[in-house]
Structure 1
Amino acid sequence: MSDRLGMPSAVSIALGGMIGGGIFSVLGVVARIAGTRTWLAFVVAGVVALCAGYSYNRLNAVSDRTGASVTFVQRYTNNTTIAGMVGWTLLFGYIGSMAMYAYAFGEYSVGLLGLRETLGGLARPLVSALAVVGFVALNRMGARATGTAENVLVAAKMAVLLGFGVLAAVYGHANGLLDFGITGAATVAPVVAAGVSFVAFQGWQLLFYDRESIADPETTIPRAVYVAVPVAVATYVLVGVTTTSLLTPAQIAQYGEIALAKAAQPVLGSLGFTIIAVAAVVSTGSAINATLFSAAHFADGMTDENVLPDRIASSDGDGVPQRTVLLLGIVTLGLTVYGTLDGITALASFAFLVVFGTMSALAFAERDRDRVHPLPPLLGAVGAACLFPLLCYHLAVHEPQTFGFVVLTLAAVFVVELTYFERTRLARVAKRAEDRL
């Protein structure tokens, strides 16, 4: 009997990567922007993500090398610098995702345990930091959930979210509260919110890093992506509609990160808050753990492609990249302690918009191949290209401090990337300048 993962486990990995921490982390941020049209924001982001998923699958199918983002860019552009910068951008997106999960982990834990009364403003950053430290230690010891455990965990998360969604929909319908935002003036708010929520649709691409552990990956991975993304969209839509219907805009702004748990109170009372909060803590915690594991191995693989320094890669006897895990943990800790959730979410979404848009553009460039239909890659590339500037505009106008944080962080990352990949040429220029002195 094979130990390799089948279709159910592959779908669980993809769903776990998306729903695992995404909905608990971004819902409050998205709802503040889109209001009762939050569901539309999730649909738009989901369509772009699904088109990117198609692009990944088709690039894998027509390439003579299996892999993911870095491999594809290297294969189709033959440019190590561009491939490396895409890889670094994706890696920073994973760091932003982990910081976002840790932030939500802290908020829900504080709300659940009532720590704010005793620790004040230190409560959330302290709990978030402890979560990152704990999961870094766990990964350095080589711990990881098995396929069966992941199936059970994802099933439990889905049961909680769908159970809440159905009960809340029934409650909202009975009390005339359900609001889909159909009436009223048309605005770009849902599209802007789609850009913010894009990080909630990353996770399915983790399947491409686990190819060796998946049975018949050429067939299983594409099917898992095409199942997982629509299921995630449907779940987000259900939860988004009910949450924005049961809470007023003022309440969503007040409760922020824990809006989802607060929305359960009218339906199930304090028990509803507790159930959602516990599910959020478990989900965001497992999302930190899974993303840290995959990101560390992704970074380790980047050293094989010569796009990360060899010193970063260091594995023990169990294959755990110790230095990589520690470095990722340190950066994540700093981001989750000192950043805002809006800033962290936007930062991660920017990274995935760039990478997924690039993959869609690469697939569109291969549209003459028999196995590549041009429409999905075109939608993915154009969608990402539209969401990126809209998100920039929204942040610059409505959240200038967040925009400044994002711009400075991205600029710093870009400078580090460029310096690393152009280090040889820069050294030659410096040597020539020195010789002229």
Structure 2
Amino acid sequence: MSERLGLPSAVSIALGGMIGGGIFSVLGVVARIAGTRTWLAFVVAGVVALCAGYSYNRLNAVSDRTGASVTFVQRYTDNTTVAGMVGWTLLFGYVGSMAMYAYAFGEYTVGLLGLREVLGGLARPLVSALAVVGFVALNRMGARATGTAENVLVAAKMLVLVGFGVLAAVYGSANGLLDFGTAGAATVAPVVAAGVSFVAFQGWQLLFYDRESIADAETTIPRAVYVAIPTAVATYVLVGVTTTSLLTPAQIARYGEIALAKAAEPVLGSLGFTVIAVAAVVSTGSAINATLFSAAHFANGMTDEDVLPDRVASSDGDGVPQRTVLLLGIVTLGLTVYGTLDGITALASFAFLVVFGTMSAIAFSERDHDGVHPLPPAVGVVGAACLFPLLCYHLAAHEPETFGFVVLTLAALFVVELTYFERTRLARAAKRAEDRL
């Protein structure tokens, strides 16, 4: 880049990572759980994410080595195995996010073009698969949006979402439809839904992997994080309140992933559905592209930390890690074609809860530094520690098949991670056993 990115572009990158695909992908899933208290679920998840953002920022401020998750775990635990497992978990979270975006991309495209009548049940998986293949090919050519393009794209998405939210709020208020879920008994449903929605608050941490392209990174990145996360929360609250007010629980369950677009129909008719659906296709598509690019370079950086095999992450072809892009695309393709949206969303949320909770715990351990206030990291740790088991309970009680899918996938990931990082010790044990025989 001839010019480094300033604060507006940094905020756009962070917002693009969250709003770029999050609200279009998870709103229907969260609304089915929390109903008219969906807005509260986003607030809870946003607070935990903001505390994690504070932890990232303060660790960079007090450390003699700037970086992100893997760097800090390596530095503060002096344990390559733990650092590597955190890195792999985060990388898998990015894969889950891309699969979630591709799933939503497929649903909105199918709904927009009426492809289900032509292709039946194959329509959504086919479109999602083509999206992943297309963006893998685009990234292998080294394509990436410029700072200006990202600003324009995020501004357009925000305009559509906020515009819809305001119009829907006015319409709902005039017709006595707005419902904040304040009536009735308090339940844990919004907190459970917060765990499910947590993946919608990832993306801002990608700024820490782009430090070299950001002007005055030490000042710009913290400001961007503190602007982007509250802005995302406010947008999610506005859209969450209006969507759950304009649609009944039965309609939300019926429309599922495209509930947001369907909520625009009472306000703007078929034009409303079309505008939201087009915005969703563009947003989820750009989210796949941006996350794939950043995740590939994150994986490439993990090889420098010696926590990922060189055969997996390698830079070639004008600096683009093409082999990494291909491998990430293959795993994403498998998840989005064969997984359910609930399962994919839960997988990604689990991954980010673990990583963000770990970073908050590390920041809390450094609370003796003048630059680290203990309260935000403590809230981040407690929040992640509470959301994780609640999400497990919800899936086990209400979606056992999804829970089984999540448990088996995470267990397989853990075994692969442990086998790789303990390969030397395992080889020695096998050699000793062979010698005894």
Both proteins in one fold, TM over 0.5: yes
The C-alpha deviation readout for 1:215-257, integer Å capped at 9, x for no partner, is: 0000000000000000000000000000000000000000000
Aligned-pair identity (%): 93
Supply the distance in 2 between the matched residues of 1:169 and 1:258 (Cα, whole angstroms): 19
Task: Give ranges in structure 1 of 5+ residues lacking alignment.
Answer: none
Supply the distance in 2 between the matched residues of 1:141 and 1:2 (Cα, whole angstroms): 20
The C-alpha deviation readout for 1:263-284, integer Å capped at 9, x for no partner, is: 0000000000000000000000
Supply the distance in 2 between the matched residues of 1:314 and 1:431 (Cα, whole angstroms): 31
Supply the distance in 2 between the matched residues of 1:407 and 1:205 (Cα, whole angstroms): 26
Supply the distance in 2 between the matched residues of 1:420 and 1:314 (Cα, whole angstroms): 18
Supply the distance in 1 between the matched residues of 2:426 and 2:314 (Cα, whole angstroms): 28
Deviation at 1:107, TM superposition (A): 0.1
The C-alpha deviation readout for 1:64-94, integer Å capped at 9, x for no partner, is: 1111000000010000000000000000000
Supply the distance in 2 between the matched residues of 1:65 and 1:319 (Cα, whole angstroms): 24
Deviation at 1:144, TM superposition (A): 0.2
Structure 1 counterpart SS, 2:356: helix
Deviation at 1:314, TM superposition (A): 2.2
Deviation at 1:312, TM superposition (A): 1.3
The C-alpha deviation readout for 1:341-378, integer Å capped at 9, x for no partner, is: 00000000000000000000000000000000000000
Q: Report the number of matched residues.
A: 437
Structure 2 counterpart SS, 1:90: helix
Supply the distance in 1 between the matched residues of 2:412 and 2:221 (Cα, whole angstroms): 35
Supply the distance in 2 between the matched residues of 1:241 and 1:2 (Cα, whole angstroms): 43
Moved over 6 A (4+): none
Supply the distance in 1 between the matched residues of 2:135 and 2:29 (Cα, whole angstroms): 25
Structure 1 counterpart SS, 2:179: coil
The C-alpha deviation readout for 1:39-64, integer Å capped at 9, x for no partner, is: 00000000000000000000111111
The C-alpha deviation readout for 1:282-306, integer Å capped at 9, x for no partner, is: 0000000000000000000001111
Supply the distance in 2 between the matched residues of 1:347 and 1:114 (Cα, whole angstroms): 29
The C-alpha deviation readout for 1:371-409, integer Å capped at 9, x for no partner, is: 000000000010000000000000000000000000000
Supply the distance in 1 between the matched residues of 2:218 and 2:230 (Cα, whole angstroms): 20
Supply the distance in 1 between the matched residues of 2:314 and 2:307 (Cα, whole angstroms): 15
The C-alpha deviation readout for 1:110-150, integer Å capped at 9, x for no partner, is: 00000000100000000000000000000000000000000
What is the match of residue 229 of structure 1? 229
Note the 1:330-409 alignment, pairs <5 A.
330-409=330-409
The C-alpha deviation readout for 1:152-185, integer Å capped at 9, x for no partner, is: 0000000000000000000000000000000100
Supply the distance in 2 between the matched residues of 1:355 and 1:266 (Cα, whole angstroms): 40
What is the match of residue 85 of structure 2? 85
Structure 1 counterpart SS, 2:311: helix
Supply the distance in 1 between the matched residues of 2:313 and 2:58 (Cα, whole angstroms): 30
Structure 2 counterpart SS, 1:311: coil
Note the 1:127-206 alignment, pairs <5 A.
127-206=127-206
Question: Which deviates more from structure 2 when the two are superposed, residues 201-210 or residues 1-10?
Answer: 1-10
Supply the distance in 2 between the matched residues of 1:316 and 1:95 (Cα, whole angstroms): 21
Supply the distance in 2 between the matched residues of 1:393 and 1:289 (Cα, whole angstroms): 33
Supply the distance in 2 between the matched residues of 1:414 and 1:318 (Cα, whole angstroms): 33
Deviation at 1:317, TM superposition (A): 3.6
Deviation at 1:315, TM superposition (A): 1.8
Supply the distance in 1 between the matched residues of 2:304 and 2:212 (Cα, whole angstroms): 17
Task: Give ranges in structure 2 of 5+ residues lacking alignment.
Answer: none
Supply the distance in 1 between the matched residues of 2:365 and 2:432 (Cα, whole angstroms): 40
What do you get for the CA RMSD once the two structures are aligned?
A: 0.7
TM-score (norm 2): 0.99
Deviation at 1:21, TM superposition (A): 0.1
Supply the distance in 2 between the matched residues of 1:315 and 1:45 (Cα, whole angstroms): 35
Supply the distance in 1 between the matched residues of 2:7 and 2:216 (Cα, whole angstroms): 9
The C-alpha deviation readout for 1:308-337, integer Å capped at 9, x for no partner, is: 001112222411001100000000000000
Supply the distance in 1 between the matched residues of 2:207 and 2:278 (Cα, whole angstroms): 27
Supply the distance in 2 between the matched residues of 1:9 and 1:434 (Cα, whole angstroms): 58
Supply the distance in 2 between the matched residues of 1:105 and 1:24 (Cα, whole angstroms): 9
What is the match of residue 283 of structure 2? 283
Deviation at 1:2, TM superposition (A): 6.3
Supply the distance in 1 between the matched residues of 2:400 and 2:2 (Cα, whole angstroms): 53
Supply the distance in 1 between the matched residues of 2:360 and 2:14 (Cα, whole angstroms): 19
Question: Which deviates more from structure 2 when the two are superposed, residues 357-366 or residues 310-319?
Answer: 310-319
Supply the distance in 1 between the matched residues of 2:2 and 2:47 (Cα, whole angstroms): 34
